[in-house]
Every structure is written in structure tokens, then in C-alpha cells.
Amino acid sequence: DQQVKQNSPSLSVQEGRISILNCDYTNSMFDYFLWYKKYPAEGPTFLISISSIKDKNEDGRFTVFLNKSAKHLSLHIVPSQPGDSAVYFCAANSVGYTGTASKLTFGTGTRLQVTL
Amino acid sequence: DAGVIQSPRHEVTEMGQEVTLRCKPISGHDYLFWYRQTMMRGLELLIYFNNNVPIDDSGMPEDRFSAKMPNASFSTLKIQPSEPRDSAVYFCASSLGVGTEQFFGPGTRLTVL
């Protein structure tokens, strides 16, 4: 059972345009979400995160939006650059009232290609 | 710090052979994770340790897989006997908390012929 889903395996965007990567989750206990970026032959690296008490978090060109009612989050990259071409993984976990986090659950990834 | 170190980077072996993957986490991190990446299932958590103790091994596919962490600076993932369907990239990651940012190693690409 895939609790974190990235339904688009690939996405192609022109340089300078906006890239929107989507992620859906099914577990209502998830309250903390992260995006990781992965280049070929390297391990994933942390990009940006958001807690469920927020609906938006911004870091430079990267913004993550969270819609709890729809159990949906998205990563926006504006403007897209060729160096953004990579695989992006969405991940989620639950911290809850105890403050003790559960393990991260990852999606299957979306390959972003930014073209010139 | 050098980050998470994994060895070997590539491993090609024949079906039935034993394979051992190695990981050195970032010094001071108390959580260590082993993941497997495949096209179909993305990043799957196989097992994770806290302070060298295995906490959750529910992702380990079957008895052919085993993992150990004899001390805070070293962990192994062993497959015995290996099968072609084990071919994947195996990542080790470490963190200061189970749900916080994890730092990944470069991965070991395993090919079982």
C-alpha cells in the first residue's frame, strides 16, 4: 500500500517557467512533509519541508504548498533552471503530540527535466 | 565531515553469492537507515537503527536479508544468497532524529546476474 504517491513519473518544463511537482498521501496521521532532490549517481538531498500547521513554506525559488483537506502537497520551482533537472521525492511522517517522529515514507519520485 | 560513506559503489555478482554492503554514518547521528531504490517502488525503507539497535525491520524483504550495526560508526547490509531481483540501488542514510532530515550516502548499485 503506497501511502505517499507521486503519480507523475516525469515532467518536462522550459527554462524560466514554473515547475509544479505533486504528491498525494493517504495516511491522515502524517503531519510533516519533506522534499528531496536526487541527481544521478548521488544520494537524495534534503530540499525543503513543511509542517501541517502551515499551508506554505518558501525558500528562495522553492515553495511547498500543503492542502490538508485534500491530502495533497506540491513543490513549485520558479523560475526553473537546467540545474534543477533531477528526480524529486516527496516524503512524509507523523510527529503528533508526543513529539516522537515516525519513520519517513517516501513516494516513487518524479523526474524533472528542465529544457533550454 | 565527509558525509555518509558507502562501499562499494558498484557491485556485480552472480546469483547465489553473498553480498555485503557497508555504511559509515555521519559522526554524532544516532539513527541509521537502509533503503532500496527501484523504479517500481521508489525508495523503500528496509530497516533502521537507533543507537545501534534495530528498531524496525519490517521492510526487509525476506530472510535472505540481514543488517547489523556493531558500533555507532559502521553498519552492514548482507544478502545471502543473492537473486537477480535484488538488483537495485541501496542507500544508507543517517539523521539526528527518526523523522527529521536524513543525510544519504551515494548508494551502492547492486547487479545480480
What are B33-81's pLDDT values in tens digits? 999 998 888 888 999 999 999 998 989 988 999 999 999 999 999 999 9
- Whether B83 shows a pLDDT value over 70: the answer reads yes
Q: Give me the half-sphere count of Cα atoms (radius 13 Å) on the Cβ side of residue B49.
A: 26
Judged by CB atoms closer than 8 Å, whether chains meet at A43 and B100 is answered as no
CA dist B1 and B4 (Å) reads 9
Say what the pLDDT of residue B26 is.
96
Residues of chain B contacting residue A88, judged by C-beta atoms under 8 Å apart: none
**What b/e sequence results for B76-99 when a residue is b if at least 16 CB atoms lie within 10 Å of its CB, and e otherwise?**
ebebeebeeebbbbbbbbbbebbb
Say what the pLDDT of residue B98 is.
67
Nearest CA-CA partner of B75 in B19, B3, B1, B20: B20
Say what the pLDDT of residue A2 is.
79
Say what the pLDDT of residue A71 is.
96
Say what the pLDDT of residue B100 is.
74
Judged by CB atoms closer than 8 Å, whether chains meet at A106 and B42 is answered as yes
CA dist B54 and B48 (Å) reads 6
B17: left (phi over 0), alpha (psi -120 to 50) or beta: beta
Judged by CB atoms closer than 8 Å, whether chains meet at B99 and A42 is answered as no
Residues of chain B contacting residue A86, judged by C-beta atoms under 8 Å apart: none
Below-50 pLDDT ranges, chain A? none
With H, G, I as helix, E, B as strand and everything else as coil, classify residue A19: strand
Judged by CB atoms closer than 8 Å, whether chains meet at B104 and A43 is answered as yes
Judged by CB atoms closer than 8 Å, whether chains meet at B45 and A106 is answered as yes
Nearest CA-CA partner of B93 in B77, B106, B110, B79: B106
Calculate the dihedral angle through the C-alpha atoms of A67, A68, A70, A74, rounding to the nearest 10 degrees. 40
B97 → closest Cβ in A44, A101, A108 = A101
- Whether B110 shows a pLDDT value over 80: the answer reads yes
A109 → closest Cβ in B42, B100, B107 = B42
Say what the pLDDT of residue A101 is.
59
DSSP lists the bridge partners of residue A22 as A74
Bond before B81 cis per omega within 30 degrees: yes
**B91: contact with A, CB 8 A cutoff:** yes
Say what the pLDDT of residue B39 is.
80
